[in-house]
Amino acid sequence: MDEKQGVIGAAGLVKEFGDVIAVDNISLSVGEGELFGLLGPNGSGKTTMIKLLTGQVRPTAGSAVVLGLDVTKDPVGVRKKVGIIPEQETPPSFLTATEYLDFVGEVRHITGVRKKADWWFDFLDFNDKRDVLCKDLSRGTRQKLMFTQAFIHEPALALIDEPLINFDPIMQRKVKDYLTEYVRRGNTIFISTHILEIAEEICSKFAILHKGKLLHTGTVAELKGRDQHLGEFFLSLVETGAHA
Q: Is 54 helix (H, G, I), strand (E, B) or coil?
A: coil
Residue 23: CB minimum distance to another protein, A = 13
Our finding on whether 68 is near another protein (CB under 8 A) is: no
Among 79, 144, 205, 210, binds another protein (CB under 8 A): 79
> Is the Cβ–Cβ distance between 83 and 159 less than 8 Å?
yes
Among 6, 75, 140, 218, binds another protein (CB under 8 A): 75
- Does an H or E element contain 181, and which? helix 169-184
| Distance of alpha carbon 142 from the chain centroid | 16
Segment 162 to 201, residues that bind another protein, using CB under 8 A: none
Widest Cα–Cα separation across the chain: 52
Tell me the site size for another protein, rule CB under 8 A: 39
Segment 88 to 147, residues that bind another protein, using CB under 8 A: 88, 90-96, 98-99, 102-104, 106-108, 131-133, 135-136, 139, 146
Question: In 3D, which of 86, 79, 143, 149 has the Cα closest to residue 117?
Answer: 149
| Distance of alpha carbon 12 from the chain centroid | 20
Q: Which residues bind another protein (CB under 8 A)?
A: 51, 54, 56-58, 75-77, 79-80, 83-86, 88, 90-96, 98-99, 102-104, 106-108, 131-133, 135-136, 139, 146, 149-150
